Amino acid sequence: MQAQEVVALVRQTCRVLSSERVPLESALGRVLREPVCALEDHPAFDRSAVDGYAIRLDDPGTRFEVVDEIRAGDWKPRSLRPGQSVRIGTGGAIPCEGLQVAMKEDVALEGSAIRLVRREAERNIRFRGADARQGQVLVEAGAVLQPGALALLASAGHTRPLVTRLPRVVHATTGNELVPPDQTPSQGRIRDCNSALVRTFLGLRGIPVEQSRLPEDEPAVRDAMGPVADHADLLLTSGGASVGDHDFTRRLLEELGYAILVSKTRTRPGKPLIVATRGDALAMELPGNPLAHFVCLNLFVRAALDALAGRPAEPLFARGVLGAAIDGDANARETFWPARCRQEGPAASLTPLRWLNSGDITSLATANGLIRVPGGSGRIPAGAEVDFVRAAATA
């Protein structure tokens, strides 16, 4: 399977999780599950758009007694007679119909009166309901709630929006060669870096994860995984390096009642991926190589998180321009090449990073994108347009 097909299958398999109401500060990045409507008109009353003096629109005079003052927050309905004005601040409630507001800059003060130096046609009033009418949709269902949308919800009084709950994610690493990253590996062993990768990747979405590092021992893994799998919406395992591990995980998932949907892909790195489902739960075995992890997280796990959250599906690949040639090596498999993406004029420019072999992870220092090199590609020259995936990152 090509990456695009795996993603389509994941999207199609995942059901959107249930929803919950959360306070605004917890709703950042969450998906809104119902349209949010205006509870009242926006603005809710006629407001002055400027700092100045309210006068009658039908009053042709130039000199006006200042008979009252209205600041933002005041509520002082009153009528005005010809020759009268009211001092009014930006945001202040217009006291009656038929007025306009002369800007402070267009007025000369004369004791308790003002003289209009310049009269604009502009009324300088933000009329009730001009921005949105009561009942009108302000934010559509399916919106990913970013700070701006949250401000709009706050202004409209929707302080507990209905959003998709976070998925319960369980992650286990197996592999006798692995030691925790704060330990010095003995000869022949390496540090586990996939746990940190998975944890921080999920952290980008504010998703907590229950993690464990398991010995490569079938009964022990089975005992450990059974109970945690029961409450996981998404079960992730980081495979060991060997083929045996792959077969073992496959068996394990089947014993736990998962049906295998994908057991390998044609992507490089990332070939021995397993995708499986059980009811509404999804499991993925990510190939142990950390760069394959990086690819699978940004392609397949991201697709699962989006689908579980109910985010509208977006095109998997963006388009960019190669900043330097890339040697596709005519490999039969679709390759995702680590790259540095930056904006060059209006276009995304992609510089392929040094990547010696599938085990070389030094490019992860700066990689913020993955260039898709189609299977069978030879050299792709600088300036060519290519597909790429932007790596998920913090703001």
CB-nearer residue toward a second copy: 83 or 106: 106
CB-nearer residue toward a second copy: 6 or 207: 207
Counting contacts by CB under 8 A, is residue 365 touching a second copy?
yes
Counting contacts by CB under 8 A, is residue 394 touching a second copy?
yes
CB-nearer residue toward a second copy: 58 or 97: 97
Q: Phi and psi at residue 105, in whole multiples of 5°? A: -70, -20
The letter for the amino acid at 328 is: G
CB-nearer residue toward a second copy: 259 or 332: 332
The letter for the amino acid at 319 is: R
Q: Please, which of residues 280-319 interact with a second copy by CB under 8 A?
A: 288, 290, 293-294, 297, 318-319
CB-nearer residue toward a second copy: 205 or 278: 205
- Least spacing, CB of residue 313 vs a second copy, in Å: 14
Residue of 10, 100, 92 whose CA lies nearest to 54: 100
Q: Please, which of residues 246-265 interact with a second copy by CB under 8 A?
A: none
- If DSSP codes are grouped into helix, strand and coil, which group holds residue 179? strand
CB-nearer residue toward a second copy: 201 or 258: 201
The answer to whether the bond into 60 is cis (omega within 30° of 0) is no
- Least spacing, CB of residue 278 vs a second copy, in Å: 27
* CA torsion through residues 370, 376, 378, 383, sign: negative
Q: Using CB under 8 A, which of 16, 37, 67, 89 touches a second copy?
A: 89
Instruction: Using the rule CB under 8 A, give the single segment among 56-64, 112-120, 218-226, 361-369 that binds a second copy.
Output: 361-369
DSSP state of 395: -
Residue of 158, 227, 207 whose CA lies nearest to 29: 207
User: E-strand spans in 77-232?
Assistant: 84-88, 99-103, 107-110, 113-116, 125-126, 137-139, 162-164, 169-174, 178-179, 190-191, 209-214
Say if strands 369-373 and 385-390 run parallel, antiparallel, or are unpaired: antiparallel
Q: Using CB under 8 A, which of 110, 140, 210, 217 touches a second copy?
A: 140
CB-nearer residue toward a second copy: 99 or 261: 99
- Least spacing, CB of residue 206 vs a second copy, in Å: 8
Instruction: Using the rule CB under 8 A, give the single segment among 12-20, 222-230, 260-268, 386-394 that binds a second copy.
Output: 386-394
Counting contacts by CB under 8 A, is residue 320 touching a second copy?
yes
Q: Using CB under 8 A, which of 37, 156, 224, 324 touches a second copy?
A: 156
Counting contacts by CB under 8 A, is residue 54 touching a second copy?
no
Q: Using CB under 8 A, which of 144, 214, 256, 324 touches a second copy?
A: 144
Counting contacts by CB under 8 A, is residue 184 touching a second copy?
yes
Q: How many CB atoms lie within 10 A of CB 300?
A: 24
d(Cα 137, Cα 33) in Å, to the nearest integer? Answer: 13
Counting contacts by CB under 8 A, is residue 103 touching a second copy?
no
Say if strands 84-88 and 52-56 run parallel, antiparallel, or are unpaired: antiparallel
Q: Please, which of residues 213-242 interact with a second copy by CB under 8 A?
A: 216, 240-242
In angstroms, the first-to-last Cα distance of the chain is 33
Please list the residues that pair with 66 across neighbouring strands.
85
Counting contacts by CB under 8 A, is residue 182 touching a second copy?
yes
**Sheet hosting strand 99-103, strand order edge to edge:** 99-103, 52-56, 84-88, 63-70, 113-116, 107-110
- If DSSP codes are grouped into helix, strand and coil, which group holds residue 314? coil
- Least spacing, CB of residue 268 vs a second copy, in Å: 13
Counting contacts by CB under 8 A, is residue 2 touching a second copy?
no
Q: Token pair of 218, please?
A: 């079938």
Counting contacts by CB under 8 A, is residue 348 touching a second copy?
yes
